[in-house]
């Protein structure tokens, strides 16, 4: 139903929540994210025209755009209510640019950090214009990433591997992981020894038992690097003249509450406490922010906006939290004034920390309405916020030094520290107090230590040694890598999860027991980028670019000027990288002069969609060399291949190669071409195979292929894939067993359209099912349908897990099985068993 007041948000769930709050006079529509972006298949940035982005409408959003344009024509007021950050501001701007052409409506920008009736009402009463500084900051980031990714990826294709890519920020994250792995590999453990003594104070039989650790020898830090040194210390202490209390010091100390969550700390804590990946954490948080029906008459946002780097908390929320603490925990747990936490320099003060929208909406109250993952994350956020406004814990730390004179004449100092909590403060909020390893050790020490007195005698009960070795730095987990990125000023709240997702998806990094390990490909990509473009992928340089983007956001610098300054350096770095491996000028001149003598060029050759023309290619390289005196490494290798191909017309080739210093390269290239030829010959199909392929492909002539399907990041197009196999066979190449299996599966999928399917089945070795198999298949189909019904209701999927070389992705597996079942393809027993296991797993979690 049309309305004069149109509100546009990003997602349907956000639209439903806001719709309940605004009422029937507003029409709420979802843009489903970005409606315009840079083109997928072309560069999309006009560098010469002040880095103008050449946006195009997102193909996957055309239906949505049409609906938005239609409704915008009827509206008098359009409210752009997208998320309150760079990305959200950019979506609002793109929507306005798209809709204002066909609408006379007034555009209003409304921002809110929580989806509650009060916050929405205030936002609509205080509508503003779009913040172009925020938009320009997002545009600058998008263009920067396109400039780097689009121009560096081809370098990777030619030097490392086809089809891979590089990213401005992701590649720095990869660098950190690779450097840490090399630190670990290069680490040499150093031996050291600990000495622990069990003592009894006052008198034997007093029962005042405690353990102390050797701390210093003759006032210097203990160093025992091998068993021989350790044995000497043992002997000296065992032969000592007796032990006495040298000092007892008790100090009060306070442990202050941690600040409320920001994006990075929420991701880190959820990783450690809940085993959630950063990406999964953000998905769950998005649901909590956009609204959940908790039995109050419609959905309501349970937490504030989850992409933030600010510790700021609204005054009303602080007052409400203090009221909750006083009434539900106790007035002693409320500090005299609210706790405030200092933001980092680049933090956006206008944003809030991540907190519950209503502190009185406790985890137990909302538990019946939440999925398990939502409940667990909400509990984490709620507890952290309440704890952040509680009084500090009060503790007493007692340190006792025990001295003895060893039989070697040296003075040995043993130390014990005990920690006693006298007032829990914020730690009462946690079932398990948040303690460091040192604090746990201190609390294990007996509280009677404070009762010891100076010069009080002690008696040795036992003396033990522990052989230890220093350990290498730990591998990064997703949580600790985010912390490292944040510490170094790399990335922002909206990008942390996507940075990690990208390096994992590209298989540059894998996960083993939660730790990030670079793959062989990851090392290759990293090493190439660091050696070829060292300045671009410096941690400090990337952090500096983030600060400049922040300055664009604050309106301090012009975004196009920032890009201009960056590109002037980047273009030089890029050109230098392209020339790595290029031949010396005299080598290039020599081989170009030789090839220029060729009279009889091979005819043009069409392979697939590309046409290969030796003469045309040579002339283009020659022209480049004549204008710049350089050629690229790829062009040099192509000329070496060409010289060997036309060797019969170049009698002076070997002589010229020796004279100009590239004889070894000619020899190596000749060997490489020989291996390529052998590989090409081995991939040729026999006459029998060619005839068989032709017969098989004929059966598919009448097939009407299904529409391409998108699953995750990949698009599955049966027609396109079939035609690629057909082209391969028609070019005389043999089809692998795997490819023949794919054709068999396609035959089974489209068998209703294939005339004389039995004959095709014989060619492909597809056997018809027996009557018994048919019955079993029917029973299996019922079970499969039941399991798929269960899985279709899952909204929060677990993150993909890498085990060895394989990546296990629950959602992708389900979609693949559902597609297979939908198209009538038989599932194997192994697939059915795996599907059952998955259905049981998600049934239990829900």
Chain segment 130-149, per-residue pLDDT in tens: 999 999 999 999 999 999 99
Per-residue model confidence as pLDDT tens digits over 594-622: 999 999 999 998 876 788 899 999 999 99
Q: Do 25 and 3 meet the contact criterion of CB atoms below 8 Å apart?
A: yes
* Domain termination residue (choose one: 578, 611, 631): 578
514/714: higher pLDDT: 514
On whether both 46 and 62 belong to a single domain, the answer is yes
- For residue 475, what pLDDT band results from cuts at 50, 70 and 90? very high
State the residue range of the domain holding 564: 140-186+474-578
Whole-number Å distance between alpha carbons of 156 and 165: 7
Query: Do 545 and 445 belong together in one domain?
Result: no
Question: Is residue 375 included in any domain, yes or no?
Answer: yes
Query: Which CATH number belongs to the domain containing residue 281 in this structure?
Result: 1.10.290.10
Please count the other Cβ atoms lying within 10 Å of the Cβ belonging to residue 219.
8
- In sequence order, what are the residues at sequence separation of 6 or more whose Cβ sits closer than 8 angstroms to the Cβ of residue 717? 708, 709
Contacts 24+ apart (CB under 8 A), 53-60: 53/139, 53/142, 53/143, 55/94, 57/98, 58/34
Kindly tell me the burial class for residue 577, based on how many C-beta atoms sit within 10 Å of its own C-beta (0-12, 13-18, 19 or more). buried
Please tell me which residue, 113 or 675, carries the higher pLDDT value: 113
Q: Are residues 202 and 315 in the same domain?
A: no
77 and 61 in a common domain: yes
Instruction: Give start and end residues of each alpha helix (H) in 335-427.
Output: 363-366, 372-388
Q: Which pLDDT band, with edges at 50, 70 and 90, does 788 fall under? A: confident
In a domain, 157, yes or no: yes
Question: Could you tell me the two tokens for 18?
Answer: 């806001």
Whether residue 122 is predicted with pLDDT greater than 90 in this model: the reply is yes
Return the ∠ at Cα 252 (arms to 246 and 254), rounded to 5°: 140
- Residue 148 exposure: Cα atoms within 13 Å on the Cβ side: 22
Catalytic site residue from 305, 646, 662, 693: 305
Please determine, for residue 773, whether its predicted confidence score (pLDDT) is greater than 50. no
**β-bridge partners, 248:** 400
User: What mean pLDDT is reported for the chain?
Assistant: 89
Residue 114 lies in a domain: yes
SS3 label, residue 5: strand
Residues 309, 323: Cα–Cα separation, whole Å: 26
Are 354 and 399 in a shared domain? no
pLDDT of amino acid 779:
61
Beta strands 709-711 and 26-30 are unpaired
Which among 74, 86, 742, 29 is positioned nearest to 351, based on CA atoms? 86
Q: Has 378 been annotated as catalytic? A: no
CB within 8 A of 239, min separation 6: which ones? 406, 407
Task: Compute the distance between CA of residue 264 and CA of residue 802 in angstroms, rounded to an integer.
Answer: 23
135 domain residue, yes or no: no
Q: Are residues 34 and 90 in the same domain?
A: yes
pLDDT at residue number 756: 86
- Is residue 15 in a domain? yes
What does DSSP assign to residue 166?
Answer: -
- b/e per residue, 248-278, with b = 16+ CB within 10 A? beeeeeebebebbbbbbbbbbbbbeebebbb
Residue 423: phi and psi, rounded to 5, are -145, 125
Strands 106-109 and 77-80: parallel
User: How many domains does the chain divide into?
Assistant: 7
The reply to whether 479 falls in a domain is: yes
The domain boundary residue, chosen from 334, 359, 388: 388
Looking at the structure, tell me whether residues 524 and 613 fall in a common domain.
no
**pLDDT value at residue 443:** 54
Report the DSSP beta bridge partners of residue 684.
Answer: 733
User: Do residues 205 and 282 both lie within one domain?
Assistant: no
Residue 78 within any structural domain of the chain: yes
**Distance of alpha carbon 151 from alpha carbon 347, whole angstroms:** 32
Burial of 691 (0-12, 13-18, 19+ CB in 10 A): exposed
DSSP track, 531-585 = HH-TTTT-HHHHHHHHHHHHHHHTTSS-HHHHHHHHHHHHHHHHHHHHTTTPPPH
Q: Which of 47-51, 450-454, 673-677 has the lowest mean pLDDT?
A: 673-677
Q: Which residue has the higher pLDDT, 816 or 217?
A: 217
Q: Which pLDDT belongs to residue 776?
A: 45
Say if residue 486 is in the same domain as residue 563. yes
User: Same domain for 457 and 312?
Assistant: no
Q: Is residue 282 part of a domain?
A: yes
Domain-ending residue, one of 682, 710, 735: 682
Average pLDDT of the residues in 305-310: 94
Residues 271, 349, single domain; the answer is yes
Whether 672 and 700 map to the same domain: the answer is no
């Amino acid at each position: 139903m049309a309305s004069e007041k149109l509100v546009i948000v990003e997602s349907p769930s956000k639209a439903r929540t806001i719709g309940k709050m605004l009422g029937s006079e507003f029409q709420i529509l979802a843009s489903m994210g970005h409606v315009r972006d840079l083109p997928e298949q072309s560069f999309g940035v006009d560098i010469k025209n002040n880095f103008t982005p050449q946006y195009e409408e997102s193909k996957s959003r055309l239906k949505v755009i049409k609906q938005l344009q239609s409704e915008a024509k009827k509206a008098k007021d359009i409210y752009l209510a997208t998320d309150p950050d760079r990305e959200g501001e950019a979506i609002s701007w793109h929507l306005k640019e798209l809709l204002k052409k066909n609408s006379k409506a007034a555009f209003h920008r409304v921002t809110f950090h929580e989806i509650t009736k009060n916050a929405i009402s205030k936002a609509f009463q205080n509508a503003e214009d779009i913040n172009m500084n925020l938009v320009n900051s997002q545009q600058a980031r998008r263009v920067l990433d396109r400039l780097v990714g689009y121009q560096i990826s081809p370098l990777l294709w030619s030097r490392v591997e086809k089809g891979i890519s590089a990213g401005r920020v992701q590649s720095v994250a990869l660098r950190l992981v690779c450097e840490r792995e090399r630190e670990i590999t290069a680490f040499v453990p150093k031996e050291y020894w600990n000495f622990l003594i069990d003592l009894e104070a006052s008198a034997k039989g007093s029962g005042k038992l405690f353990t102390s650790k050797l701390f210093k020898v003759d006032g210097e830090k203990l160093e025992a690097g091998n068993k021989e040194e350790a044995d000497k210390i043992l002997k000296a202490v065992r032969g000592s003249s007796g032990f006495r209390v040298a000092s007892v010091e008790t100090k009060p100390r306070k442990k202050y509450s941690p600040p409320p969550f920001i994006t990075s700390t929420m991701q880190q804590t959820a990783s450690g406490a809940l085993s959630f990946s950063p990406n999964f954490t953000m998905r769950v948080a998005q649901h909590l922010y956009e609204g959940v029906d908790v039995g109050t008459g419609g959905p309501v946002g349970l937490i504030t906006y989850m992409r933030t780097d600010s510790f700021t908390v609204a005054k009303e929320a602080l007052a409400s939290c203090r009221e909750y603490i006083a009434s539900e925990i106790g007035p002693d747990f409320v500090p005299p004034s609210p706790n405030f936490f200092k933001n980092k320099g680049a933090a956006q003060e206008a944003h809030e920390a991540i907190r519950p929208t209503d502190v009185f909406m406790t985890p137990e109250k909302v538990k019946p309405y939440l999925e398990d993952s939502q409940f667990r994350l909400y509990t984490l956020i709620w507890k952290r916020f309440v704890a952040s406004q509680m009084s500090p814990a009060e503790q007493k730390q007692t340190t006792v030094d025990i001295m003895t004179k060893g039989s070697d004449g040296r003075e040995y100092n043993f130390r014990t520290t005990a920690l006693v909590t006298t007032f829990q403060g914020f730690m009462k909020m946690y079932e398990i107090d948040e303690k460091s390893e040192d604090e746990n050790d201190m609390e294990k020490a007996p509280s009677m230590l404070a009762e010891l007195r100076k010069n009080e005698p002690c008696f040795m009960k036992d003396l033990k040694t522990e052989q230890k070795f220093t350990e290498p730095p730990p591998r990064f987990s997703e949580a600790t890598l985010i912390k490292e990125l944040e510490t170094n000023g790399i990335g922002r709240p909206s990008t942390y999860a996507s940075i990690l997702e990208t390096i994992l998806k590209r298989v540059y990094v894998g996960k083993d027991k939660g730790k990030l390990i670079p793959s062989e490909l990851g090392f290759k990509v990293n090493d190439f980028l660091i050696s070829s473009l060292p300045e671009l992928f410096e941690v400090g340089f990337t952090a500096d670019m983030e600060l400049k983007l922040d300055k664009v956001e604050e309106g301090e610098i012009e975004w196009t000027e920032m890009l201009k300054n960056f590109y002037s350096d980047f273009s030089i770095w890029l050109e230098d990288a392209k020339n790595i491996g290029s031949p010396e000028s005299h080598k290039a001149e020599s081989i170009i002069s030789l090839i220029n003598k060729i009279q009889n060029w091979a005819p043009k050759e069409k392979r697939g969609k590309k046409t290969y023309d030796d003469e045309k290619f040579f002339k283009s390289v020659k022209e480049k060399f004549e204008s710049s005196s350089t050629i690229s490494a790829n062009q040099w290798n192509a000329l070496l291949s060409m010289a060997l191909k036309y060797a019969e017309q170049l009698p002076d080739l070997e002589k010229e190669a020796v004279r100009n210093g590239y004889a070894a390269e000619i020899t190596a290239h000749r060997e490489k071409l020989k291996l390529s030829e052998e590989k090409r010959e081995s991939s040729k199909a026999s006459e029998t195979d060619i005839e068989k392929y032709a017969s098989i492909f004929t059966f598919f002539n009448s097939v009407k292929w299904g529409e391409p399907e998108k699953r995750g990041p990949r698009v599955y197009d049966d027609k396109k894939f079939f035609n690629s196999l057909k082209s391969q066979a028609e070019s005389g190449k043999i089809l692998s067993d795997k490819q023949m299996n794919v054709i068999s599966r396609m035959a089974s999928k489209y068998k209703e359209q294939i005339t004389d399917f039995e004959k095709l089945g014989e060619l492909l070795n597809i056997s018809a099912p027996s009557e018994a198999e048919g019955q079993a298949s029917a029973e299996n189909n019922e079970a499969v349908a039941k399991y798929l019904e269960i899985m279709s209701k899952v909204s929060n999927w677990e993150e993909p897990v890498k085990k060895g070389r394989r990546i296990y992705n629950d959602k992708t597996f389900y979609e693949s099985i559902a597609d297979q079942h939908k198209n009538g393809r038989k599932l194997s027993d192994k697939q059915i068993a795996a599907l059952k296991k998955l259905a049981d797993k998600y049934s239990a979690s829900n």
